[in-house]
C-alpha cells in the first residue's frame, strides 16, 4: 500500500486529511482547506472545485452542485423530484438512459452522467491534490458518508471511489469520524464518555450516539435526515430576501423580472445573489445584521434598481428555527429508539458548517442543558480528521502507540434503517434499525406454485416517513421440482460495512445453497429489471404452459450465469449478453405452440444459424451442426437421434443473439409496409450489427441491437401487458 488518506466527501465542500505522527489537513492545489464539491464544464474540460464554482456566473446549467444528494438516488424519489423542480439547481436531472427507475442521471455538456461518475471527478481531484502535497501515490482512503445513507447510497460511494482509482479502506459514518477526532483530542486513557454527535452539514443532517472508552467507539444508534442541510437554509434565505426586496422597492413580481433577463445577465445575477446570501448567513453567525449590496435589475417601468438592504439576525433566526426544531425532534426520536435518557449523554458535540449558527447552540442548550453542548474546535474539518486518523490506523505504516497515547482500536457499528424482504402481497422485516453489525437473519418462506423455478428477492429500506424504498434485488433458480408450499431458506447478512449478502436454498437440501447477485444500479440492474419484467409477463394468463416451460428453462440458465458473475462486476459486458439472451428466449417462447415442439424449434434455429451467419460461428460449429442435423434425420437408432438433438440444442442455445438478428432482418419487410424508410433502416442496422460482431466490437453491436429492437417494436402491435409475479409466500 502506498499512501492512505481520509476524505470528507461533503455536499458543499470536501476535505482531505492525512496522519503520520499527527493528523493534519491537506490543502488543495489552490492552497485551501476546503474544496468545493462542485463540478463544471469549460470547453469540454471537466473542472472541479473553486474554478468550477465560478462558472455559476457564466454557465450554471453546466455547473453541478450538491451531487451527493443524488448518490444512490432514484428518479421517482419525491425529494429528487423536488430538486428537479427547484430553481436553486439549474442543471438537468433526468432518468438514466437504458437504466431503471431506481437510477438517476445528471446532464453535463449535453451528456448523461451518473452521480457516481461526477462524485468520482471530485475524488480524482482530491487524490491528485493529496499526491502533490505528500509527494507519493495515494491508493487507499477512508471516505466518510452520512450516517443516514442506505446500503444503496453507500454502494454508490464505493463505485465513485473505484472510478476515481481509490481503494476504500472503510466507509465511515460522518458523526463517527467526528467522534474519533474528538476522542483523540479530548479523552485521556481510561476515560469513558457517551457522546451524541450533532452533524449539520451542507446537504445532510446526521446524528450518532457513541460510547467511547480507550480507543473503542461503539455506536449505540444513528439517525438524521438526508434531505436536511445548509442548502435548505440557503434556499429559504434566498426566498425571504427576494420577498424583502420586492417589498422595499415596490416590485410586484421580482421572479418574473429575473427570469426575463438575457442569459448572461441572468447567470451573473443568480451567481452574485447566491454568493451574497451565503455570505449573509455566515456574517449573521457573528453579527446582529448583515447587508445585501449588489447590482440590481430593471423594474417594470424600466428604471434601474440597485439593492441595498439589511437582514437582521432576528429575521434570519425566524427562518432557521423550523430547521433546528426538526433537528431536535430527530434527536428525541433517536434517544427513544435506543432507549437512552438525555442524562446518559455526557456531551452533545456540534460539527458541520451549519452548526456554527448561534441559534443552534442556544436552542440545544435550552433543551438539553448548556453544560452538555460542545462545539468542535474545527467544525468544518473534524470529520476529515477522524477519517485521516482511521485511515492511518488501517494502513501498512501503522505502529502501536506509545504508552498513554489514545488510538483508535475498534469501532462497533449499528444499522441505520429497517430492512425488508418483499413477499407477494406484503413486506417482512428482516433487520430492525439500530441492530449491531454485522447482522445475520435466516428466514423460511414458502413456494407459491408447484415446481416453482425462479424466485425474485427484493430488499427494501424504511426511510423517510416510513416509506419503503427498494435498495436492491436479485434472483435465484430452484433446481428441484418442489410442491407448492415447500420451504425455501433465505440467509441474509448485512456486513459491518453495510453490504448485503443473500444466500438461498431449499430447507431440505442446504448443500444447494447459492449466492444471489444483487443489482447495483448499472448494467446489472438493467438486465435484472428486464428479467423481472419478462417473468411477470410470462406469468400472465396470455401464455400457454408450453410457452412458460420453454422460457423458464432458459431463464434459469441465465440466472445461474448471473450468479456466477459476482457482485463486483456490476458493469460487465456479460450483462448485455445475458439481457439479449433473455430477450431472445422470450421471443422464442412466444413462438412455441402445441404444434411446434422443442425438436422442431432446434432444427429451425440451427438451419438459420448455418444459412445466415456461418462466418460468425466458425467452420467447426457449422460443420458440427450440419453433421448433427444429418444424424438426426437419417439415424435409425432412437438413442442416437436423442443424443444428436441434445447436442444440437446446446449449440443453438449459445447463439440467441444471432437468432434475434435474424428476426430483425425478417421484420424489416413488415416494417417497410408501414414505413419504407424505417424498414430499410432496420435492414441496414442488421448488417451493421453483423459487421460489428465480425470485427469484435461487442459494445457497439449490443448498443445498436438495442436500438434496432426498439425501432422494430414500434411496429409491433401484439405487445403484451405486464401481469403476475414471481414471489415467495409467508413462512
**What pLDDT does residue 722 have?**
23
**What pLDDT does residue 590 have?**
73
Name which residue leads in pLDDT, 693 or 188.
693
Query: What is the spatial distance between Cα 272 and Cα 269, in angstroms, rounded to a whole number?
Result: 5
* Band of pLDDT at residue 717, cut at 50, 70 and 90: very low
**What pLDDT does residue 401 have?**
53
- Residue range 24-44: mean pLDDT, rounded: 94
Surface-to-core class of residue 435, CB atoms within 10 Å of its CB (0-12 exposed, 13-18 middle, 19+ buried): middle
User: pLDDT digit string (tens) for 612-629?
Assistant: 889 888 888 899 889 988
- Residue range 366-386: mean pLDDT, rounded: 92
* Band of pLDDT at residue 351, cut at 50, 70 and 90: very high
Q: 34, 7 in Cβ contact below 8 A? A: no
**Is the pLDDT assigned to residue 251 strictly greater than 90?**
no
Strand-pairing partners, residue 575, are none
- Single pTM value for the model: 0.76
* 216-225 and 410-412 strand pairing: parallel
* Band of pLDDT at residue 187, cut at 50, 70 and 90: confident
**Is the pLDDT assigned to residue 724 strictly greater than 80?**
no
**Is the pLDDT assigned to residue 596 strictly greater than 60?**
no
Which of the residue ranges 123-137, 186-200, 409-423 has the most confident prediction, judged by mean pLDDT? Answer: 123-137
Name which residue leads in pLDDT, 197 or 605.
197
Q: DSSP letter string over 547-603?
A: HHHHHHHHHHHHHHHHHHH-TT-TT-THHHHHHHHHHHHHHHHHH-BTTB-HHHHHH
Name which residue leads in pLDDT, 714 or 326.
326
**What pLDDT does residue 363 have?**
96
Report CA-CA distances (Å) from 304 to 269, 276, 485: 14, 19, 77
Compute the residue count for the chain: 731
- Residue range 333-353: mean pLDDT, rounded: 93
CA dihedral of 255, 260, 262, 263, whole degrees rounded to 10: 50
- Residue range 573-602: mean pLDDT, rounded: 73
In the β-sheet with 45-48, what is the strand arrangement from edge to edge?
Answer: 45-48, 39-42, 63-64
**What pLDDT does residue 718 have?**
34
| Domains in the chain: ranges and CATH | 3-228+323-412 (3.30.420.40), 415-516 (2.60.34.10), 537-731 (no CATH)
**Is the pLDDT assigned to residue 412 strictly greater than 70?**
yes
Give the three-class secondary structure for 79: helix
Q: Which residues contact 368 (CB under 8 A, 6 or more apart)?
A: 331, 342, 345, 348
- Residue range 384-395: mean pLDDT, rounded: 91
Query: pLDDT averaged over the chain?
Result: 86
Backbone angles phi, psi at 286, to 5 degrees: -125, -10
* Band of pLDDT at residue 304, cut at 50, 70 and 90: confident
Q: 445, 490 in Cβ contact below 8 A? A: yes
Name which residue leads in pLDDT, 646 or 487.
487
Query: What is the spatial distance between Cα 500 and Cα 504, in angstroms, rounded to a whole number?
Result: 13
User: pLDDT digit string (tens) for 108-126?
Assistant: 999 999 999 999 999 999 9
**Is the pLDDT assigned to residue 480 strictly greater than 80?**
yes
Give the three-class secondary structure for 294: strand
**What pLDDT does residue 368 have?**
95
**Is the pLDDT assigned to residue 207 strictly greater than 70?**
yes
Out of 186-195, 241-250, 416-425, 649-658, least confident range: 186-195
**What pLDDT does residue 150 have?**
85
Out of 62-76, 327-341, 419-433, least confident range: 419-433
* Band of pLDDT at residue 465, cut at 50, 70 and 90: low
**What pLDDT does residue 723 have?**
23
Q: How far is CA 391 from the centre of its chain?
A: 24
User: pLDDT digit string (tens) for 668-682?
Assistant: 877 887 888 888 888
**Is the pLDDT assigned to residue 404 strictly greater than 50?**
no
**Is the pLDDT assigned to residue 77 strictly greater than 90?**
no
Query: What is the spatial distance between Cα 349 and Cα 200, in angstroms, rounded to a whole number?
Result: 11
Q: Which residues contact 540 (CB under 8 A, 6 or more apart)?
A: 720, 721, 722, 723, 724
* Band of pLDDT at residue 541, cut at 50, 70 and 90: low
Query: What is the spatial distance between Cα 126 and Cα 530, in angstroms, rounded to a whole number?
Result: 37
Q: 87, 274 in Cβ contact below 8 A? A: no
514 CB neighbour count, 10 Å cutoff: 17
Backbone angles phi, psi at 504, to 5 degrees: -140, 145
Share of the chain above pLDDT 70, in %: 92
Q: 522, 116 in Cβ contact below 8 A? A: no
Amino acid at each position: 500500500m502506498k499512501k492512505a488518506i481520509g476524505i470528507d466527501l461533503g455536499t458543499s465542500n470536501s476535505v482531505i486529511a492525512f496522519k503520520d505522527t499527527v493528523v493534519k489537513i491537506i490543502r488543495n492545489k489552490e492552497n485551501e482547506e476546503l474544496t468545493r464539491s462542485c463540478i463544471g464544464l469549460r470547453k469540454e474540460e471537466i473542472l472541479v472545485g473553486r474554478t468550477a464554482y465560478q462558472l455559476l456566473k457564466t454557465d450554471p446549467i453546466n455547473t453541478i452542485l450538491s451531487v451527493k444528494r443524488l448518490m444512490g438516488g432514484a428518479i421517482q424519489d419525491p425529494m429528487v423530484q423536488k430538486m428537479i423542480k427547484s430553481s436553486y439547481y439549474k442543471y438537468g436531472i433526468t432518468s438514466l438512459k437504458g437504466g431503471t427507475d431506481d437510477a438517476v442521471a445528471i446532464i453535463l455538456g449535453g451528456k448523461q452522467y451518473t452521480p457516481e461518475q461526477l462524485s468520482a471527478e471530485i475524488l480524482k481531484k482530491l487524490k491528485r491534490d493529496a499526491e502533490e502535497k505528500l509527494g507519493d501515490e495515494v491508493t487507499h482512503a477512508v471516505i466518510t458518508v452520512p450516517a443516514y445513507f442506505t446500503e444503496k447510497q453507500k454502494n454508490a460511494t464505493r463505485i465513485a471511489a473505484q472510478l476515481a482509482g481509490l481503494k476504500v479502506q472503510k466507509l465511515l459514518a460522518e458523526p463517527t469520524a467526528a467522534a474519533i477526532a474528538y476522542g483523540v483530542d479530548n479523552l485521556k486513557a481510561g476515560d469513558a464518555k457517551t457522546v451524541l454527535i450533532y452533524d449539520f452539514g451542507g446537504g445532510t443532517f446526521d446524528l450518532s450516539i457513541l460510547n467511547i472508552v480507550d480507543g473503542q467507539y461503539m455506536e449505540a444508534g444513528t439517525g438524521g435526515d438526508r434531505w436536511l442541510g445548509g442548502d435548505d437554509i440557503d434556499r429559504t434565505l434566498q426566498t425571504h430576501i427576494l420577498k424583502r426586496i420586492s417589498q422595499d422597492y415596490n416590485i410586484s413580481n421580482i421572479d418574473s423580472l429575473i427570469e426575463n433577463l438575457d442569459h448572461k445577465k441572468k447567470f451573473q445575477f443568480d451567481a452574485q445573489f447566491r454568493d451574497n446570501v451565503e455570505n449573509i448567513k455566515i456574517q449573521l453567525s457573528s453579527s446582529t445584521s448583515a447587508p445585501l449590496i449588489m447590482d440590481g435589475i430593471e423594474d417594470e417601468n424600466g428604471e434601474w434598481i440597485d439593492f441595498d438592504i439589511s437582514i437582521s439576525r432576528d429575521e434570519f433566526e425566524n427562518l432557521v428555527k423550523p430547521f433546528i426544531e426538526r433537528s431536535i425532534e430527530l434527536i428525541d426520536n433517536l434517544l427513544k429508539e435506543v432507549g437512552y435518557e438525555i442524562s446518559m449523554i455526557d456531551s452533545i458535540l456540534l460539527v458541520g458548517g451549519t452548526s456554527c449558527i448561534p441559534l443552534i447552540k442556544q436552542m440545544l442548550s435550552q433543551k438539553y442543558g448548556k453544560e452538555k453542548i460542545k462545539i468542535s474546535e474545527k467544525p468544518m474539518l473534524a470529520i476529515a480528521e477522524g477519517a485521516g486518523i482511521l485511515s492511518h490506523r488501517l494502513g501498512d505504516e501503522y505502529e502501536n502507540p506509545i504508552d498513554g497515547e489514545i488510538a483508535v482500536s475498534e469501532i462497533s457499528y449499528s444499522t441505520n434503517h429497517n430492512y425488508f424482504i418483499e413477499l407477494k402481497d406484503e413486506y417482512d422485516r428482516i433487520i430492525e434499525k439500530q441492530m449491531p453489525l454485522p447482522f445475520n437473519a435466516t428466514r423460511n418462506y414458502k413456494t407459491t406454485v408447484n415446481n416453482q423455478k425462479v424466485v425474485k428477492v427484493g430488499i427494501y429500506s424504511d426511510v423517510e416517513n416510513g416509506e419503503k424504498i427498494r435498495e436492491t434485488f436479485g434472483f435465484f433458480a430452484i433446481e428441484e421440482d418442489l410442491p407448492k408450499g415447500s420451504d425455501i431458506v433465505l440467509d441474509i447478512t448485512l456486513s459491518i460495512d453495510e453490504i448485503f449478502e443473500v444466500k438461498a436454498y431449499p430447507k431440505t437440501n442446504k448443500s444447494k445453497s447459492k449466492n444471489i447477485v444483487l443489482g447495483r444500479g448499472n448494467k446489472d440492474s438493467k438486465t435484472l429489471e428486464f428479467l423481472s419484467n419478462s417473468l411477470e409477463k410470462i406469468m400472465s394468463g396470455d401464455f400457454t404452459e408450453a410457452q412458460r416451460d420453454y422460457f423458464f428453462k432458459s431463464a434459469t440458465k441465465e440466472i445461474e450465469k448471473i450468479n456466477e458473475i459476482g457482485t463486483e462486476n456490476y458493469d460487465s459486458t456479460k450483462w448485455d449478453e445475458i439481457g439479449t439472451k433473455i430477450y431472445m428466449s422470450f421471443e422464442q417462447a412466444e413462438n412455441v405452440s402445441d404444434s411446434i415442439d422443442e425438436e422442431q424449434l432446434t432444427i429451425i434455429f440451427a438451419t438459420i444459424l448455418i444459412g445466415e451467419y456461418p462466418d460468425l460461428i466458425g467452420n467447426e460449429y457449422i460443420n458440427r451442426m450440419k453433421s448433427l442435423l444429418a444424424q438426426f434425420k437419417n439415424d435409425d437408432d432412437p438413442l442416437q437421434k436423442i443424443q444428436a438433438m441434445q447436442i444440437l440444442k446446446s449449440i443453438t442455445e449459445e447463439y440467441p443473439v444471432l437468432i434475434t438478428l435474424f428476426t430483425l432482418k425478417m421484420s424489416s419487410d413488415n416494417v417497410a409496409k408501414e414505413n419504407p424508410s424505417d424498414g430499410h433502416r432496420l435492414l441496414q442496422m442488421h448488417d451493421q450489427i453483423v459487421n460489428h460482431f465480425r470485427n469484435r466490437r461487442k459494445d457497439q453491436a449490443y448498443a445498436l441491437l438495442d436500438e434496432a429492437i426498439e425501432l422494430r417494436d414500434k411496429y409491433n402491435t401484439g405487445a403484451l401487458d405486464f401481469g403476475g409475479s414471481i414471489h415467495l409466500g409467508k413462512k
